[in-house]
Amino acid sequence: MTVEKLITDHIDIWSSALQTRSMAGRGSNGKIDLYGIKKLRELILELAVRGKLVPQDPNDEPASELLKRIAAEKAELVKQGKIKKQKPLPEISEDEKPFELPVGWEWVRLGDAVDVINGRAYKKHEMLKSGTPLLRVGNLFTSNEWYYSDLELDEDKYIDKGDLIYAWSASFGPFIWQGDKVIYHYHIWKLKIFSESSLNKYFLHDYLASITEKIKSQGNGIAMLHMTKERMEKQVIALPPIEEQIKIVSKIKELMCLCDQLEQQSLTSLDAHQHLVETLLATLTNSQNAEELAENWARISQYFDTLFTTEASIDALKQTILQLAVMGKLVPQDPNDEPASELLKRIEQEKAQLVKEGKIKKQKPLPPINDDEKPFDLPQGWIFIRMNHAIDVRDGTHDSPKAVIGVEGYPLITSKDFSNGSIDFSNAKYISKEDHDAISRRSLVEVDDILFSMIGGNIGNQVKVSTDRQFSIKNLALFKYYTKEATNPDFVKLFTEYVANTLQTKAIGGAQPFVSLGILRGLVFPLPPIKEQSRITLKSKTLFIMCDTLKSRLQSAQQTQLHLADALTDAALN
């Protein structure tokens, strides 16, 4: 089977094998990796370097003759003083040969075919704002920030357009440089081929791309992975006849263009799908009444199997459910319900009693809510109030109490201890009773309270407390209830989940952004009648179970597609 046929016959597997990349932090919406197409690219390179991408021609000059020519030209360069004589590299053992070579191919160590030339390390005062550009690894991958130098260096410390280079620290990979003349940094090698009539630089580029993951696995370091020049020179390369090298490069380019087209079609399809989902979900939140909402929901329900086929679309559905819940559009209103204005009176009575008993301090008045702050129109019987008027919003410690042996202390919980909507105590730090008591006097955590991350990449991560175990909290907001007769904990959590993503945009600070207690206390909170709160939470739970079921089925189907892509790749190589 030709590779073209392998692509076209199984195009559904390559394009439908998707993988959601997990990303840190609340609401980061994991990006989709086109896993199948990525595997296809890897397969093309692997077939190429094994001699399975183009047919062999018995009339081609064998690679054994190329090796003689490379050795002769290398010796001449030594004789002319252009390169130093190297120590002989070890013979290639059978264990180092990962596959059987086609007829006419030979194994060679990289250092026997290529001069691996180090760049230069630069001191801070040598990195200027003008002069000759200084190429660093970051400029090859992600960074557009350039430094310059006015130093006069040996020619080997410059890269010209068309040179083959290799990044070997933190980020790895080969490049054919396409820019103007630059100086290159120590973490880049220039690969100067001894005999360009025997080794095609584009073939070597593609070969190094195919083994870069293996090269990385041989690297040193933890904080910054790097490869040594000695190990790089010992890398084993499968060398085809020069004519075949050129054919392989041409075929790789052709097939990679097919992959580019397939990738663009997949991305365009995913974007169009997500736009369609968002447009249809917007009809739900824009519904003017319960009857219109029911009609729009029924219309969407007919196409569930085709609409909600990605994790992003299911997450969008869940966010829409949250929005409908807090807008009062998820369930119909009952005119017989006690209005929220009466609940507010009960909340104020309870607060006054708590102040009288010394359980809470008298609060400073919060500013009234102006019309610009109201995000939507409320149904009859609802009211907008500040969060701290309905819920006692506190926070835990922001200090770092001294740790003690677990059995002697109390857990100190942060958002890192949140797992699948609950608290995982297994890796928690423990603090003394004195520190615990000091924190709890201000922020005593009780069952049904909501813990909400205020700081770092986890802003908005939250749990509703389901244990009566005593513990303290750090860098967490604590949502407590003046009275559960007016505020249903599950409805409060619906609201905090709804605003979580928005709160990330209000975070301040650099490396460790945070949301202040003042912002949380001043949130505009829609308070429904208490009976409607219960109806909303019940309906929400039913719909969230549906979302979880959809996501579970999707993940199972995705795993099947990933396995199919892997199996297809393995079959093509064997």
Model confidence over 546-570: pLDDT tens digits?
A: 999 988 888 888 788 888 888 877 8
- 6 has pLDDT over 80: no
User: Measured in Å, how far apart are the chain's first and last C-alpha atoms?
Assistant: 12
What is the pTM (predicted TM-score) of this model? 0.71
Does the domain spanning 61-240 belong to CATH 3.90.220.20?
yes
Residue 108, SS3 per DSSP? strand
pLDDT at 27: 42
Residue 16 has pLDDT above 80, yes or no: no
* pLDDT(68) > 90: yes
The predicted pLDDT at position 432 comes to 92
Strands (E) across 119-199 are located at 132-135, 147-149, 158-159, 164-169, 171-176, 182-184, 188-193
Asked if the domains 61-240 and 338-528 are classified in one and the same CATH topology, the answer is yes
- pLDDT of 81 > 50? The answer is yes
C-alpha to C-alpha distance for 417 and 431, rounded to whole angstroms: 15
Q: Are 522 and 323 in contact (CB under 8 A)?
A: no
User: In terms of pLDDT, which residue wins out, 393 or 29?
Assistant: 393
- For 95-128, b/e burial (b = at least 16 CB within 10 A) is eeeeeeebebbbbbbbbbbbbbbbbbebeeebee
Per-residue confidence (pLDDT) for residue 112, from 0 to 100 = 96
Share of the chain above pLDDT 70, in %: 96
Q: Could you give the count of Cα atoms lying within 13 Å of 495 in the half-sphere of its Cβ? A: 25
Q: What is the mean pLDDT of the chain?
A: 89
pLDDT of the residue at 21: 65
Structure confidence by residue, pLDDT tens digits, 343-387: 999 999 999 998 898 888 888 888 999 999 999 999 999 999 999
CA distance 450 to 499: 14
pLDDT at 224 (0 to 100): 67
Has residue 22 got a pLDDT over 60?
A: no
**Hey, which of 305-309, 532-536, 555-559 has the most confident mean pLDDT?**
532-536
The CATH superfamily label for domain 338-528 reads DNA methylase specificity domains (3.90.220.20)
- Reduce the DSSP state of residue 120 to 3 states and report it: strand
Q: Please give the pLDDT value at position 240.
A: 97
Alpha carbon distance 109, 121 (integer Å): 27
pLDDT of residue 280 exceeding 50, the answer is: yes
**For residue 92, pLDDT beyond 90:** yes
Query: Each residue of 420-471: pLDDT tens digit?
Result: 889 999 999 999 999 999 999 889 999 999 999 998 878 889 999 999 999 9
What local confidence, expressed as pLDDT, does residue 407 receive? 63
pLDDT, tens only, 132-185: 999 999 999 988 899 999 999 999 999 999 999 999 988 999 999 999 999 999
Average pLDDT over residues 45-62: 93
Residue 29: the pLDDT is 44
pLDDT of residue 571: 74
Query: Does pLDDT of 263 surpass 80?
Result: yes
pLDDT at 24 over 50: no
- Sign for the CA dihedral angle at 261, 267, 273, 275 comes to negative
List, for residues 377-415, the tens digit of each pLDDT value. 999 999 999 999 999 999 999 999 999 876 678 999 999
Could you tell me the two tokens for 18? 């998707």
90 confidence band (pLDDT: 50, 70, 90): very high
Residue bearing tokens 């407590």: 480
pLDDT of residue 1: 58
**Integer CA distances (angstroms), 548 to 221, 296, 314, 553, in order:** 40, 22, 9, 9
Residues 175-230 pLDDT 10s: 999 999 999 999 999 999 999 999 999 999 999 999 999 998 887 766 567 889 99
Q: Residue 328 corresponds to which tokens in the numbers above?
A: 């009062």
Q: Report the pLDDT value the prediction gives residue 108, as an integer from 0 to 100.
A: 97
- Report percent pLDDT > 90 for the chain: 64
Please provide residue 291's backbone torsions phi and psi, each rounded to the nearest 5 degrees: -65, -45
pLDDT of residue 23: 47
- Beta bridge partners of residue 476, listed in sequence order: 453
List the chain domain ranges: 61-240, 338-528
User: What pLDDT is attached to residue 299?
Assistant: 85
**Whole-number pLDDT of residue 67:** 96
- The 3-state secondary structure of 143-158 reads CCCCEEECCCCCHHHE
For the segment 48-54, the average pLDDT, to the nearest whole number, is: 92
CB atoms inside a 10 Å sphere around CB 10: 17
pLDDT band for position 533 (50/70/90)? very high
Task: With a cut of 60, say whether residue 30 has pLDDT above it.
Answer: no
**Structure-model confidence comparison of residues 361 and 72, the more confident one:** 72
Q: What is the mean pLDDT of residues 483-488?
A: 94
Cβ contacts of 39 within 8 Å, gap of 6 or more: 14, 17, 565, 566, 569
